[in-house]
Amino acid sequence: MKVNLKDIARATGFSLSTVSLALRGKGRISEQNRSKILVRASEMGYKCSPKKKSASKNRHLYFALIMQLEKSEFYPAFYKGFTDAAHNKNIEISLFNVFGNNERVEALIKNLIDIGYSAAVLFIPSLKQKQYQLLQNSIPEGFPVISCSNINNPVLDTVTFDAYSGAYLVAKHFYSQKFRRFGIIEGPQNKPEALFRTNGFTDFTKQRSDSKIVWSYIGDYTRYSGVCAFDNFENATEKPEAIFAVNDAMAVSFLDKARSKGWIIPEDLAIAGYDNLPMSEYNFPNISSVKTDFEALGENAIAALLDRLNRPRPSQGMTSLLPVSLEVRESSKIRFK
């Protein structure tokens, strides 16, 4: 049966005139109420004109940043990048913490829509492709969601860093410093972006006949796993000259433990990390690290959401990879004699 304005008014609790104005994009109605009416109308099968969902320059928008938070410097830096990016765009960014399961995310998105949020960014690296597919099916039409997690076959439109190229740059830098025996502290094997970092580093090494990876250790991104990696390294039969840790936390804790055992960095052993967090810059010696610009990530994710609001369409699984660079510091500088 065809949905009419009375049905929407009854379902939302707003008056018939308010619903009519909201659907026509007119009237002095708060953006929260207008969004609630538009989303509910869409859920009921009412066909709204795309122009009525336009994200005009004068419209004050509320976006949600939905993350699975852990104890790490990474998450405050990530959030600050988004708030900085939104500052001059008349957009409010709110942070919401969830555990990595669909039910919690689905419920949160429904609540966000009810209170007037217009769009959301997801950063939940533990979600798998099948979970993203189920989540996509549950997201109401007219509420764009962008993911910032690197997965093999993206389901949601995704904006993320080029993890592979960042790790490739580290190996290339080590090679330029005349190091030939490499080591790597890998990340969690169930997180695709950790595997991309490993692959970028190992692929460069395989392309050079005079270099090789002589030692590796699988960590879990925590500082403790960096300490465990050093314990494993000490017992290695063949030791590397330069080690890449796929995040800064493991690089810092590995380096600190190495120094406490008498290793001189970088003369005895070079080290580099990933994400260029403050901990890498303020450590001693300071640590070379792949620079990921979180403000640029926020700008690109917000631009993608605004585009989806102005031109409503389903997610296509399109991925935009942001370039990264290597910040070279004392931990891996040239050691030519």
| pLDDT 10s digits, 281-295 | 999 999 999 999 999
Q: Is the pLDDT of residue 60 over 90?
A: no
Closest CA to 225 of 196, 246, 198, 254: 254
Lowest mean pLDDT among 86-90, 253-257, 296-300: 86-90
**Mean pLDDT within 273-279:** 96
Q: Is the pLDDT of residue 28 over 80?
A: no
- Coil, strand or helix at 248: helix
Question: Which segment, 17-31, 117-131, 234-248, is predicted with the most confidence on average?
Answer: 234-248
Residue 53's pLDDT band, with cuts at 50, 70 and 90, is very low
Tokens of 232: 């494993």
Return phi, psi of residue 190, to 5°: -95, 5
Give the CB-side neighbour count of residue 331, counting CA atoms within 13 A.
30
Residue 118's pLDDT band, with cuts at 50, 70 and 90, is very high
Give the per-residue pLDDT at 25: 66
What distances in angstroms separate CA 171 from CA 148, 167, 168, 246, 254, one per listed residue? 25, 7, 5, 12, 18
Alpha helices in 98-216 (DSSP H): 102-114, 129-138, 163-176, 192-206
Q: Which domains does the chain have, with CATH numbers?
A: 5-53 (1.10.260), 61-161+294-322 (3.40.50.2300), 163-292+325-332 (3.40.50.2300)
Give tens-digit pLDDT for 223-274: 999 999 999 999 999 999 999 999 999 999 999 999 999 999 999 999 999 9
What distances in angstroms separate CA 295 from CA 92, 242, 274, one per listed residue? 15, 30, 16
Q: Which helix (H) or strand (E) holds 279?
A: helix 278-282
For the question of whether the overall pTM of this predicted structure is more than 0.75, the answer is yes
Long-range contacts of 260-268, Cβ-Cβ distance < 8 Å, separation of 24 or more: 261/230, 261/234, 265/330, 265/331, 266/242, 266/330, 266/331, 266/332, 266/333, 266/335, 267/335
Sequence-distant (6+) residues with CB within 8 A of 299 are 85
- Average pLDDT value for the chain: 89
Sequence-distant (6+) residues with CB within 8 A of 28 are none
Residue 276's pLDDT band, with cuts at 50, 70 and 90, is very high
